[in-house]
Every structure is written in C-alpha cells, then in structure tokens.
Amino acid sequence: MVYIDDTLMESGTDEISPGTPSESASLAEIEDIMEKPVSRKVVSDDLLNNCKIEDFIFSKEDDNLAVNYKNEAGINRLNIYKTEDGELIESNLDGKFSKEVYNVKANYFEDENLNFTVYKNDNSKDNLTGVYDINIKSLEITKL
C-alpha cells in the first residue's frame, strides 16, 4: 500500500515552447512525464500466492482494508488488514468457514463492522451460509 503525498515532485525546470526543436512532442505529454507523485509512506501487506485479487474495500476512516481474492481452487476468500502497518487481522474466518468449501466475500464496512457474505462453492445452503458482520475490534462474528 502506498500513501501518495498531495504535492507533486517536478523534475527539471527548463521551459519548452512550441518554437524549440522539441516541438514535435506535445507540451501536455512532456508535463505529464515530468510530474511524478511522491509517496509519503509505503506499507507492505501480504503475499497471496496463486490467487487473484478481486477487489479492495477500505473502511470509511481508512484504518482497515478488506481484500477479496480467489484462491487457487477458484473459491472467494477474504483477508482483513490494518492499513497503518499492513498487519493481517486474525479474524479466524478460515477456521470457521473452510477454504475448500465456502466462499467468503466482503461487502462493505459500517462503523467498526465489516459485512460479508458466506456461500458454498456448489451454491447449496447450510447453517453457515448467509450474511455476517465481524466487529474489527473484538473480532466477534454475528450472523444477520
């Protein structure tokens, strides 16, 4: 994760005008190349081997990050991270919902809770399928 500074670093101070030998390049293209965003902070999160990242969902306060991904078997899974240090939040979702059987997909953050859906890979239903909230602070999981 990279935090981008609002300011831009500009390399070079030479002014280019249409009458110079470089007139074939458009001024806008050159200005775009010269403007580079400056990162304030870089935080590493996690490596997900043989997985496809589906999407990222940030909490409203940007203090937590939910990552929906597909594992090597094509099953949707979910990891939750603290954005400040990239630490994986030990939610025990893999222990409660077997990664070989259940898809677990984040929907949205609301206050201190992350709403997510659990469904079986074969679309059948059982007592674990449904919509849940997990409280990010207490890690309590509640079926809705």
Give me the mean pLDDT over the 32-43 stretch: 51
- What radius of gyration, in Å, describes the C-alpha atoms of the chain? 22
pLDDT band at 83 (very low <50, low <70, confident <90, very high): confident
Mean pLDDT of 38-67: 74
Nearest C-alpha neighbor of 89 from the set 109, 119, 103, 117: 109
Write the DSSP string, 72-86.
TTS-EEEEEEETTT-
Q: What's the confidence (pLDDT) of residue 84?
A: 85
Which of the four pLDDT bands, split at 50, 70 and 90, describes residue 52? confident
Highest mean pLDDT among 28-42, 54-68, 78-92, 102-116: 102-116
Q: What is the DSSP string of 13-44?
A: -----TTSTTTTS-HHHHHHHHEEEEEEEE--
Would you state the pLDDT for residue 53? 87
At 99, is the secondary structure helix, strand, or coil?
A: coil
Mean pLDDT, to the nearest integer, of 58-83? 92
- Compute, in degrees rounded to 10, the torsion defined by CA atoms 71, 128, 56, 61: -150
Residue 41 has pLDDT above 50, yes or no: no
Q: Where is pLDDT greater, at 80 or 46?
A: 80
Q: Mean pLDDT throughout 89-106? A: 94
Alpha carbon distance 85, 44 (integer Å): 8
Q: Comparing 23 with 2, which gets the higher pLDDT?
A: 23
Q: Please give the pLDDT value at position 132.
A: 98
How many other C-beta atoms lie within 10 A of the C-beta of residue 77? 21
Pairing mode of beta strands 102-110, 141-143: unpaired
pLDDT above 70: percentage of residues in the chain: 66
